[in-house]
Chains A and B, each alone.
Chain A
Amino acid sequence: MAVITAPLMIFVLGIVVSFYLLIRSRDSPGEEGTIGVLNASMGFSAVGIIGSGWTWAIHNSMLVGSSSMCATEGLVQCGSVIGDPQWNNLFGIPWGLIGIGSFAIIWFFVLSIRMDLHAKWSSNYVNLLYFVCLAGVPFVLWLVLVELTMVDGAPHICPYCTVIHIALLGMVASAFYLRQRKETGSWS
């Protein structure tokens, strides 16, 4: 199975487009810039949700043998990472399912703010979004450490997992810029 697959390319494209939107909008003044950063956030969180769903499907298929959804040999592969019974879950919950739940919370905050930029609660939601995204960073660092040093036959790099990790880091950057816009009065 090739490492570069159509789903992976779609996820990477989603990340690239989101970063493009973020970079283009972060310094734009007023509401237009804010909406641009929010659109980038929606891109990152969409990649996070769909990518997590994909890794959860890989997880389930690997429980009943090898998966046709990702490569299982070499340095860059997900078989030895998502298929490792010791590290592919947190207290029995697959990481993919945790990713879906976490990005769902992020998506909800972003969508709420996007739907009503001037709501009274929008400042609180921007702060909450920022802290929720930051809370995910230690988990990303932990998972990178696991795939590089702890999984069966380490080191391995799981491409789908990496895309999701980058999506979270993109969300941290987006939430940071949103917060900055609120604080500096350039929100609208």
Chain B
Amino acid sequence: MSRRRAKSLPKGKDEDVRTMAGLFTAGIISLVVVISVILAPIPQVGPDEGNLAPDFIADSYNGASWSEYRLSDNYDWDWNGSSDSKWFLIYFMDTDCPYCWVEGDEMSQLHSQWSDRVNFLTIAAELSIPDHDSTRGEIEAFRDKTSYFGCNSDRDDCIDRPGTPNNWPYVDDRSMSIMKQWGLSGTPVSFILEPDGTVAWNKNKHQGQGGDGEELSAALQRLVGGQ
């Protein structure tokens, strides 16, 4: 009787090589990450003061038509603190927000005072609150102070908004994507940016809990007026 001899299959190594492979992989990845960061350091991006403001591309209304607007396209990346480059006032609002309605007058006054040194930009959001449904027509009417019934939680005609017609861009953020990117949940909120896009003043920090209570007008005077 013949006995069949089993073909011997190659066996794996005695030690488990996966630990060594894992360590080697971690080493390679660490090296790549370190070299990438050396080549281009990671900038701090966010709404906090001292950080680079989160960039965005969205449609904006300039009084005649809607067109694409990118925040960083307007920065002066070479700003050294002494040039005549313009600062930025980013104002987050909702056409149906009663506080934003009331602040219309202050915004008009600030613009007449600072427009030669500050670029104004309004971000028109749509908060998830009843009667806060908005349309592009409503945003246009709020900006231009033209007749459109539906502003201020559907209580008023936009033509009655306090203040003068605003001649700066209004960005459509009814999708709330910019609000989310900036970590905001309510309006009105304003930010002052240096000409290179660094956040210089965040309303929530100064007027929130534990803040020093500094008002927007005082902040503009301190930051831009003192230049």
Contacts and interface: CB of A to CB of B under 8 A. Distances in A.
Given A57-B36, A57-B39, A69-B40, A118 B12 contact: yes
B70 A57 contact: no
Interface string B7-32: 00111110011101110110011001
Nearest to B44: A63
B43 A104 contact: no
A63 B45 contact: yes
Given A60-B40, A64-B52, A115-B20, A107 B57 contact: no
Contacts, number: 90
Interface in B60-77: 68, 70, 72, 75, 77
B35 interface: yes
A57 B33 CA distance: 9
For the complex, would chain B's binding face be called helix, strand, loop or mixed by DSSP majority?
Answer: mixed
Given A50-B32, A64-B77, A112-B18, A152 B57 contact: yes
Contacts of A180: none
B29 A152 contact: no
A53 B52 contact: no
Contacts of A69: 39-40
A51 to B, nearest CB: 10
- Of B36, B37, B56, B68, most buried by chain A (CB within 10 Å of CB) is B36
Contacts of B162: none
A58 B42 CA distance: 10
Interface residues of A, number: 37
Interface residues of B, number: 36
A88 to B, nearest CB: 10
Contact of A85 (B12, B18, B41, B55): B55
A152 B70 contact: yes
A115 B21 contact: yes
Interface of B: 9-13, 16-18, 20-22, 24-25, 28-29, 32-33, 35-37, 39-43, 45, 52, 54-57, 68, 70, 72, 75, 77
20 contacts: A57-B37, A60-B43, A64-B52, A84-B57, A86-B57, A100-B29, A108-B22, A111-B21, A112-B18, A115-B17, A115-B20, A116-B13, A117-B12, A118-B9, A118-B11, A119-B16, A120-B12, A122-B12, A152-B70, A188-B10
